[in-house]
């Protein structure tokens, strides 16, 4: 059986053709962006608190720790918005569902508006105080259980 076009170059994956975005890294209390080509630091922020969790959404980094939630431009490191974390827990994981941040830690789950208002809280009483995994179809987050 003959191939349709034996001389055609191999097809490229859309992932290879995608624009390279900074690699976001958290270490201790710092948030960094690294160049995907060289590994060089593009920008850094010392958030003044212990490490948190982050997710990437449409060019923004949403970073949450026990003190605050930051909305940071992934390319420049400029903070668009900073709100107090009303839950005051260090999140194990963060999900963004529409205009709500869902995060859990210490056996509890919180839903917070993008303005930092608690929309609901479930302490999951009687289930323990361990790390919290979160998930919705297509996006599952597990805590780092080293």
Q: What is the mean pLDDT of residues 65-81?
A: 85
Q: Round the average pLDDT of the chain to a whole number and report it.
A: 77
Band of residue 9 on the pLDDT scale cut at 50, 70, 90? low
**pLDDT of residue 137 exceeding 70:** yes
pLDDT digits (tens, 9 = 90+) for 77-97: 888 888 888 777 778 788 888
- Tell me the average pLDDT across 16-32: 76
Q: What is the pLDDT of residue 30?
A: 81
pTM, two decimals, is: 0.67
Determine the CATH number of domain 21-135. Answer: 2.40.128.630
**CB-based burial label for 80 (10 Å; 0-12, 13-18, 19+):** exposed
CB neighbours of 36 closer than 8 A, spacing ≥ 6?
Answer: 20, 21, 22, 23
* 46 against 138, higher pLDDT: 46
Q: What is the pLDDT of residues 47-62, one digit of tens each?
A: 766 567 777 776 778 7
Distance, CA of 22 to chain centre: 13
Domain range list for the chain:
21-135
Query: Is-contact 82 68, C-beta < 8 A?
Result: yes
pLDDT for the residue 41: 95
């Amino acid at each position: 059986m003959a191939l349709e076009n034996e001389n055609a170059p191999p097809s490229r994956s859309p992932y290879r053709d995608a624009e390279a975005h900074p690699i976001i890294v958290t270490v201790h209390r710092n948030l960094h962006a690294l160049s995907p080509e060289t590994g060089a630091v593009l920008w850094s922020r010392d958030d003044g608190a212990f490490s948190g969790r982050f997710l990437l959404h449409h060019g923004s980094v949403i970073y949450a720790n026990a003190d605050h939630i930051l909305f940071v431009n992934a390319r420049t490191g400029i903070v668009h918005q900073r709100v107090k974390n009303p839950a005051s827990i260090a999140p194990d994981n963060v999900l963004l569902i529409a205009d709500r941040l869902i995060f859990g830690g210490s056996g509890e789950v919180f839903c917070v508006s993008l303005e930092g208002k608690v929309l609901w809280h479930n302490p999951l009483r009687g289930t323990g105080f361990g790390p919290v995994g979160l998930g919705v179809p297509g996006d599952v987050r597990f805590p780092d259980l080293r």
